[in-house]
A and B are shown apart, each in its own frame.
Chain A
Amino acid sequence: MGRLLFEPSILSRCMAVGSSGLAVRIGGLLFRHSCTIRKNQPAIMHDLSVQDISTGDSSLTNYITKIFGDSPVAPMQDHMEVCFKTAKELLPFFEKTIEQKWDEVSELRDRIVLLEQEADELKKQIRGQLPKSMFMPVPREDLLNLLWAQDQIANTVRDISGLVVGRKMIIPEKLCTSFIEFVQRNCDAAKKACKSVRELDELYTTGFRGAEAAFVEKLVGELDVIENETDEMQAKVREELFKLEKDLPPIDVIFLYRVIELIGEIGDMAERIGRRLELLLSH
């Protein structure tokens, strides 16, 4: 494959890939690639494939194939992977925050922003390929709601990192252990949600029933257990913070409460992903 020249606007979108891949649609061609982009290094492209997805009215096209819309399943799963990757950055992010290594913290913040942008791109692509005329085995609204919940994980992580970096937030030493535990458990919830969404292609294959449906229900059950734990941990972290708050600058405390709340939202969103999957099963 020869050299590909992208317009600057497209190139910037490609740069937003982070460490995974992105599909760029130019005209009727879909460029899929996976590449590694690290800061201050040339991008390493692992794999680039070009797929002709033009459905234009050119002659010699076959109309039976035109009745099959682009399946939303693989893009939905790609989107969830990216959102989970974003959530995974949160643990190193807070570890560095506690150590107050602000350079590294802002580097991690940059990665999170890039990943969140990638998730947004995928979200737009999925929405674009689901016009109302599509006849699908699941209601369009349920699928879009699932997509929204997935995307909300990436958004929340970005908001958290923005708050922390912007305020150079200091996490009280006495709070650290339970705080990191709390972050970890919320990431676990996101991981379980991701694992559940990975079963989406299998669910489509089996027609949302039988052994595969039972398996997904089991995963969602496990997800609920984790989410319950995050709720308990959140209460515990807030309790500890409450004991410390009189010795801390009041505004810092207000934002610390806000960050804790946002971290808890990751678990809530993961749980909501589980609910949406269950809805898909029940139709």
Chain B
Amino acid sequence: MEDALIYIALAAIFGLFMAWGIGANDVANAMATSIGSRAITVKQALLIAAIFEFSGAVLAGGEVTKTIRKGIIDASSLTDTPELLMFGMLAALLAAGVWLLIASMRGWPVSTTHSIVGAIIGFAMVGIGMDSVQWGKVAAIVASWVASPLIAGILSFLLFNSVQWLILSRPDPLVRAKRFVPFYIFLAVFMIALVTMLKGLKHVYIGSDLSIFETYMMAIGCGIVVAVIGKFFIQRIQPNRKAEKKFHYFTVERVFAVLMVVTACGMAFAHGSNDVANAIGPVAAVISIAREDVVTQSAPVSIWVLLLGGMGIVIGLATFGRHVIATVGKKITHLTPSRGFAAELAAATTIVIASGTGIPVSTTHTLVGAVLGVGMARGISAIDLNVVRRIFMSWLITIPAGAILSIVFYFVLKTIFS
């Protein structure tokens, strides 16, 4: 295809722009609970986010990328005019990126997932035709936007109840915290490692020859290693009698803070695995069309595209995201590590499973659902339901906004290039 290089370059630039937007704004939401509860510092959060967002994107981002790339649009009607799909994907990227930028500037709680899905549906409906949208798949995705906060909420409710029952309600909470927290660490690492190895790694061509049994053994091994390291740090925690006099659970919360470092990593990994696909799914689509001149349905996602997404996020984090994260650090939230971990572990597990099944979900919504779950278990002193409502309602505006923007960009691009 003529101009193939131009299209690829454009896709890479737009994709990078959107990944940058995700890193600049969205990552702060994923890290907010950890920083807000003072389990980690802003600097540590940046380091964790950079490493785990990147690895999440590369190791476990493949399946969602595939969905964004070819799960929403049925490209079979486009075998004669593949460039239309290309313009559409470029338009969708640009639309979602611009919409995210506007929303971030104004402080609106919008989701990257809703933006890109809305944008893709938008150009497909108007530019190609109503039939080109795989409505069944779209319905499943929309259903997952309701289900993912719900599932995360139920998980966090159960997790926090178990913490209350095993540790907090006992007369010797410190002893019990030191005993049980390594198990929670194991659980967090095991879940994420397992889903990643089962579903994500085949896109980077490693580990795909492992049997199911070997995969489980590997996941258990990872969990045990991290749990042992965690136990080492937990054993070194000495009771602070002075602080305990004022607040009896001071040292107990410090034990949970170790756990929260692990769940913060998990949250960054989950976010990377699901949200990076929003930026690089369309890039992958454009590249495969430009290269092969046919609307191919089977070419795998190249690793360098995943790397591109990971890099974009880290650049966004370094340029803009650290300011957002710093503002989170200043705000004192009343989410102690014993609650924050439950919310994060529930959200991260839900998101990673969604990533594994290739469903693009909203990280923010899932996390808010998990926080509400802890709240239902009487874990949080005050949750502002007005803000919660605003966050959940925002996607009703985001989808048409993304769609309209992408329709506009689609026709602009089409006019320019043909």
Which residue numbers of A lie inside 8 Å of B, CB to CB? 51-53, 57-73, 129-130, 133-138, 201-202, 204-213
* Residues in A whose Cβ lies below 8 Å from that of B379: 137, 207
Q: Are B109 and A65 within 8 A (Cβ)?
A: no
CB distance from B137 to the nearest CB of A (A): 29
Q: Are A134 and B382 within 8 A (Cβ)?
A: yes
* Residues in B whose Cβ lies below 8 Å from that of A213: 169
Contact of A67 among B248, B330, B338, B388 (CB under 8 A): B388
> Closest residue to A132 on the B side, CB-wise?
B385
Q: Are B29 and A135 within 8 A (Cβ)?
A: no
Q: Are A69 and B383 within 8 A (Cβ)?
A: yes
Given the contacts A69-B384, A212-B169, A202 and B375 also touching, CB distance less than 8 Å: no
Contact of A201 among B247, B333, B383, B387 (CB under 8 A): B247
Q: Are A133 and B386 within 8 A (Cβ)?
A: yes
Contact of B335 among A62, A68, A70, A135 (CB under 8 A): A68
* Residues in A whose Cβ lies below 8 Å from that of B109: 63
Residues of B378-406 at the interface with A, using a CB-CB cut-off of 8 Å, are 378-388, 391
Given the contacts A60-B107, A207-B378, A202 and B384 also touching, CB distance less than 8 Å: no
Q: What are 20 A-B pairs with beta-carbon distances under 8 A?
A: A57-B106, A62-B325, A62-B328, A64-B28, A64-B328, A64-B364, A67-B387, A68-B334, A68-B335, A69-B384, A72-B381, A137-B381, A204-B381, A205-B168, A205-B253, A206-B168, A207-B160, A207-B168, A207-B169, A213-B169
Given the contacts A137-B378, A205-B338, A209-B164, A64 and B367 also touching, CB distance less than 8 Å: yes
Given the contacts A61-B327, A63-B107, A135 and B248 also touching, CB distance less than 8 Å: no
Q: CA of A124 to CA of B387 in the docked complex: distance in angstroms?
A: 23
3 A-B pairs closest in CB distance: A210-B169, A69-B382, A137-B378
> Closest residue to A65 on the B side, CB-wise?
B331
Q: CA of A201 to CA of B247 in the docked complex: distance in angstroms?
A: 7
Is B368 in contact with chain A by the CB < 8 A criterion? yes
Q: Are B384 and A60 within 8 A (Cβ)?
A: no
> Closest residue to A66 on the B side, CB-wise?
B387
* Residues in A whose Cβ lies below 8 Å from that of B36: 64-65, 68
Q: Are B324 and A60 within 8 A (Cβ)?
A: yes
Contacts A62-B29, A133-B386, A137-B375 given; 12 further ones with Cβ under 8 A? Answer: A60-B323, A63-B107, A65-B328, A69-B383, A137-B380, A205-B338, A206-B164, A207-B168, A208-B378, A210-B168, A211-B170, A211-B173
Which of A65, A138, A202 is most buried by chain B, counting CB atoms within 10 A of its CB?
A: A65
Is B295 in contact with chain A by the CB < 8 A criterion? no
CB distance from A212 to the nearest CB of B (A): 7
Q: CA of A58 to CA of B108 in the docked complex: distance in angstroms?
A: 10
Is B33 in contact with chain A by the CB < 8 A criterion? yes
Contact of A52 among B170, B330, B334 (CB under 8 A): B330
Q: Are A51 and B387 within 8 A (Cβ)?
A: no
Q: CA of A129 to CA of B384 in the docked complex: distance in angstroms?
A: 10
* Residues in B whose Cβ lies below 8 Å from that of A69: 381-384
Interface string of B160-187 (1 = CB under 8 A from A): 1000100011110100000000000000
CB distance from A253 to the nearest CB of B (A): 47
Is B336 in contact with chain A by the CB < 8 A criterion? yes
CB distance from A47 to the nearest CB of B (A): 15
CB distance from B348 to the nearest CB of A (A): 14
Which of B328, B334, B364, B371 is most buried by chain A, counting CB atoms within 10 A of its CB?
A: B334
Contact of B381 among A53, A57, A63, A73 (CB under 8 A): A73
* Residues in A whose Cβ lies below 8 Å from that of B216: none
CB distance from B345 to the nearest CB of A (A): 16
Is B125 in contact with chain A by the CB < 8 A criterion? no
Q: Are B381 and A71 within 8 A (Cβ)?
A: yes
Q: CA of A202 to CA of B249 in the docked complex: distance in angstroms?
A: 7
Contact of A135 among B32, B377, B382 (CB under 8 A): B382
Q: CA of A209 to CA of B16 in the docked complex: distance in angstroms?
A: 50
Q: Are A59 and B107 within 8 A (Cβ)?
A: yes
Q: Are B327 and A136 within 8 A (Cβ)?
A: no
Q: CA of A164 to CA of B338 in the docked complex: distance in angstroms?
A: 51
Q: CA of A185 to CA of B292 in the docked complex: distance in angstroms?
A: 90
Q: Are B387 and A134 within 8 A (Cβ)?
A: no
Q: CA of A123 to CA of B331 in the docked complex: distance in angstroms?
A: 23
CB distance from B270 to the nearest CB of A (A): 15
Q: CA of A209 to CA of B380 in the docked complex: distance in angstroms?
A: 14
Is B105 in contact with chain A by the CB < 8 A criterion? yes
CB distance from A126 to the nearest CB of B (A): 11
Q: Are A207 and B164 within 8 A (Cβ)?
A: yes
Contact of A133 among B364, B367, B385 (CB under 8 A): B385
Is B332 in contact with chain A by the CB < 8 A criterion? yes
Given the contacts A64-B33, A69-B382, A71-B381, A59 and B375 also touching, CB distance less than 8 Å: no
Q: Are A135 and B327 within 8 A (Cβ)?
A: no
* Residues in A whose Cβ lies below 8 Å from that of B327: 60-62
> Closest residue to B253 on the A side, CB-wise?
A205
Q: Are A58 and B382 within 8 A (Cβ)?
A: no
Q: CA of A58 to CA of B372 in the docked complex: distance in angstroms?
A: 25
Given the contacts A68-B335, A135-B375, A135-B382, A62 and B32 also touching, CB distance less than 8 Å: yes
Q: CA of A69 to CA of B371 in the docked complex: distance in angstroms?
A: 13
CB distance from B115 to the nearest CB of A (A): 15
Given the contacts A68-B334, A209-B169, A134 and B384 also touching, CB distance less than 8 Å: yes
Is B208 in contact with chain A by the CB < 8 A criterion? no
Q: CA of A130 to CA of B383 in the docked complex: distance in angstroms?
A: 10
Interface string of B297-339 (1 = CB under 8 A from A): 0000000000000000000000000011101101111111010
* Residues in A whose Cβ lies below 8 Å from that of B107: 57-61, 63
Q: CA of A63 to CA of B106 in the docked complex: distance in angstroms?
A: 11
Contact of A63 among B168, B336, B391 (CB under 8 A): B391
Which of A53, A65, A67, A135 is most buried by chain B, counting CB atoms within 10 A of its CB?
A: A67
Q: CA of A210 to CA of B379 in the docked complex: distance in angstroms?
A: 14
Q: Are A134 and B29 within 8 A (Cβ)?
A: no
* Residues in B whose Cβ lies below 8 Å from that of A129: 382
Interface string of B349-377 (1 = CB under 8 A from A): 00000000000000010011001100101
